[in-house]
Amino acid sequence: MKLETLTGWRRRLRAREISSRELTELYLGRIARLDAQLNSFITVTDELALAAADAADERLGRGEETPLLGLPVAQKDIFCTEGVRTSCGSRMLDPFVAPYDATVVARMKAAGAVMLGKTNMDEFAMGSSNETSFYGPVCNPWDPDRVPGGSSGGSAAAVAARLVPAATGTDTGGSIRQPAAFCGITGLKPTYGRVSRYGMIAFASSLDQGGPMAATAEDCALMLNAMAGFDPRDSTSVERRAEDFSADLERDLKGLRIGLPREFFGEGLDPEMRAAIETALAVLKDRGAILVDINLPNSGLSVPAYYVVAPAECSSNLARYDGVRFGHRCADPLDLQDLYTRSRAEGFGAEVKRRIMIGTYVLSAGYYDAYYLKAQKVRRLIADDFRRAFTEVDVIAGPTTPELPFRLGEKSADPVKMYLSDIYTIAVNLAGLPGLSMPAGTIGNLPVGLQLIGNYFDEARLLNVAHQFQQDTDWHARMPAAFV
């Protein structure tokens, strides 16, 4: 059977050409046969999925209409899911079964989605390669010797290999967009506050944001319609009127001003990557867009600023995992100090420990002003650069990553080199803006991602630009040969 996009399956379900149970069985079968090559799932929820599919078929039979009714999806294992293990890719939470649904999960259930399982991820979303997971690394479906990106690498790999039509991800410094680029799919990081963080296990609370990952911009719009909205249980959720992110997908791009930051096309960008991005930008120009050179002078400070702010917030958020209330608990502790020390030492991996230690240091007495406060001031300068840019242009574009997917283990011993793989994505999180990565070419057999950055709450514009690009290209429709 031909594999469709999420939107394509939606049409076929409504035409009664296929049932939700048949569709669910199709993808569960692909996961069972093919995921051993990728390790993209931590938990597969076969029985729950089939029960949800049968319920969806009953609703479809009654003529009900909800955005995702009967459609299979996967949830990143950072979203609490009632009655299902929610591990965050860590030994610390390996036995944890969530007693409630995250708002994103609840909204997608209400929209009729059928959850196939929970996808693998970097531990507590800390990583750019999906190699820090307690459950082992995820492999890139285009080349199993390479990383899929992180931290949402499990979701990206599963969608790219068509083990699931769409999945959720989270983005703290590029963790939706970078794996989307490495795996050749479309991924959207919404404006901070657009999607509820309630029930999404926190890494860095002022940066984390959930979003959709799918083959196409059209599918991401469909997903975002179900995910977005105000949530009174999340104090960072923004109250805005409901919006149909699919409504403007067909708008033409004539006169659209696309800013190209000089800082994104300079030293550090692979020459072949640059050529591929420029070829992709020419497609948008042919559609009527106007390309404008702009400056984001403080963007070069985004990596050092991020790696002060994010570890500081992670240090605070992860303090609760102490072996007492929940999470991993060491065996036979001698006293309370031993309980804390061994539980955390055994439960957390090396990258999480590294960031906790950095964060604790920059928040400590005598160093708060020198590091954390200064990083927050730099964060404001970065946001101001974007504000000025958006008085001149409608959208900003550039590469999602400076290089192609790297080999498993290639950067594991050099954390700084690993951190630099997010150099083009981190500024977007510091400013709280929406960003999207879409497949825009290949070099050899490996995907190239084009990043689009929008003004606050301008996700519909990003999806429109991406959709128009995908009308003239087929990069989003290509599949890794081993999974066709």
d(CA 264, CA 247): 31
Residues tagged active-site: 76, 151, 175
Asked if residues 120 and 111 have their Cβ atoms less than 8 Å apart, the reply is no
Query: Which residues, 6+ apart, have CB-to-CB distance to 414 below 8 Å?
Result: none
List the beta bridge partners of residue 214: 166, 186
d(CA 426, CA 45): 33
